[in-house]
Chains A and B, each alone.
Chain A
């Protein structure tokens, strides 16, 4: 199995074999190394109230979690916060790499200075995904809030140069753009920008929106492109695809699918039931809460309804096939999905 491919993780099982009990241990862990952030983006729920009390995972805690499953071959070190705010991140990665686990995380890139670059290259990190979101400083400031676009570009250039200097093939670097109506038109420019920075991977990310009534909240249904692509937007994606292939930049969407397919899904009766995550991966927050996936904390403020157990109070195996997880899986396969999954496959990604 290629650990780089998301699809390998989400679709590793025969879907028909899924039931309330997971017959195998998870092969992928999402560990929220911190739930704090130095940005307050208008697309993010933590801007409008924290998800959980601030916390960061320590190396000891990561060891405690990893010691409980033997089949984990991929660890994703992000949740709702900025991973580079965790001071022990490089040590955590180095420890995971000793166990030959594929390690990656998303970052906003604002803190990726030379010191972090050196520490991450040395740690053996496999992949870092930088959420740049826009191709211009102006749009960046509008969507992400702070005027740090140029700083991020400087950091990316520095990281790419450092990789060359150290003759290191890793970490693989990719740039991510969350498809908003506002940002999609910058996609071709975004691909040119990636190319000019020496980054050869670009991903289109779907927007997870939620019901909220905040003055400047940007993650609203009308901003989302999922299932509502207009003709000119499809054209932009086509154009971006052609440009990417001409420049030798790989252009994909999250969940290992094509950019257009990721935004336009055929209607299915129970779109949420296609999800394989509750049978293949566990997501542990910085406070130890076990959530069904990395999207779930964005979908609701009612975390009690989401939590399937606490990893610092219970054994992971007991959570993985505990009553709550079983009930969650049973409902996901039914016509009455858990609240956090209702929009999935219907309003946003799978």
Chain B
């Protein structure tokens, strides 16, 4: 039996983190082909089985940042800074909030220097809050494009105009623009976003697609729209956009409004295949790093002010502990995000 087929048996039996520690001739028999192989492997509970992919990709660390830091979430404005006040927002963002934080150009270039020092090439996800409220956002994106960094923009779409779409379409390293849409029914969407916004969001998707920008429609399945998902997928396909499902977290406005998750969580991929956000990268918000974009408003979840601290063994330990206890982590572990 080859070493590979030997190890495959462990994979098939549901083990992960399989490692050959030692291979030695079996001296108890005369067969020259008999070996004793010492293997270390972990078997997680079947429900939350670690993905096979993870077995092949080591845990985030400074030493392996070039390989393991796949994503970096950036909040150009504070998470609660938004021109909308959606009922399902995990940050309870709203135009009423007055957090003055704006990512500065020197701050961004400091971040880029830290990344370069570690040899990492993460994909940048600009999110919020509403990132387009940052007056220099497009300049930042152009800087990243010139530097050859891959990035995407998550926006509610309401501020996307002909001119901004034009600017975005010229950025080769912009992988996609992600726009939230919760229903094909204007009434349902408006009840979540606010009056008249359904049409504006659809217009933004169309404007971007006319300019050839790849668009992903982000849908948060909830009790209120769970019958709508097939219709949203069809609408997105018709518009030339992809669909991504986002989990509903019992935080912020969603908690205040008592929003309920769908009875059945639609997952495009099985949890076994899904890598969690905290496996793939870290989030940067208001001057500090956090395990993921979901937890950026929880000060005690801070991993540090530098990327090095965020990727340190201590931080990784903290993330592992969090995953055992935090209710938001349980949401990620159960469904795809």
Contacts and interface: CB of A to CB of B under 8 A. Distances in A.
Interface of A: 36-40, 42, 46-50, 53, 58-61, 64, 67-68, 85, 87-88, 110-111, 113, 115-116, 141, 144-148, 151, 214-216, 287, 312-315
A80 to B, nearest CB: 12
Interface residues of B, number: 40
Nearest to B5: A315
B148 A116 contact: yes
B172 A47 contact: no
Interface stretch (B34-42, B238-246, B308-316): B238-246
Closest 10 A/B residue pairs (Cβ)? A145-B212, A146-B212, A40-B214, A60-B56, A110-B172, A53-B269, A87-B121, A49-B237, A48-B237, A38-B175
B211 A215 contact: no
Contacts of B336: 53
Nearest to A150: B170
A64 B238 contact: no
Contacts of A40: 209, 212-215, 240
Which of A37, A64, A67, A116 is most buried by chain B, counting CB atoms within 10 A of its CB?
A64
Contacts of B5: 315
B148 A67 contact: no
A216 B56 contact: no
16 contacts: A39-B214, A48-B237, A49-B242, A58-B56, A60-B57, A88-B67, A111-B148, A115-B148, A141-B212, A145-B169, A145-B213, A146-B211, A147-B211, A148-B170, A151-B172, A215-B238
B173 A50 contact: no
Given A53-B336, A146-B212, 15 more contacts: A36-B175, A37-B175, A37-B214, A38-B176, A47-B214, A48-B240, A64-B56, A85-B175, A87-B121, A110-B172, A113-B148, A145-B212, A145-B213, A313-B11, A313-B52
Nearest to B11: A313
Given A47-B240, A53-B269, A58 B67 contact: yes
Contact of B273 (A47, A141, A287, A314): A287
Contacts of B213: 40, 145-146
Contacts of B11: 313
Interface string B287-299: 0000000000000
B220 interface: no
B52 A312 contact: yes
Nearest to A155: B172
Contacts of B233: 49
Contacts of A111: 148, 172-173
B150 interface: yes
Given A38-B174, A141-B212, A215 B4 contact: no
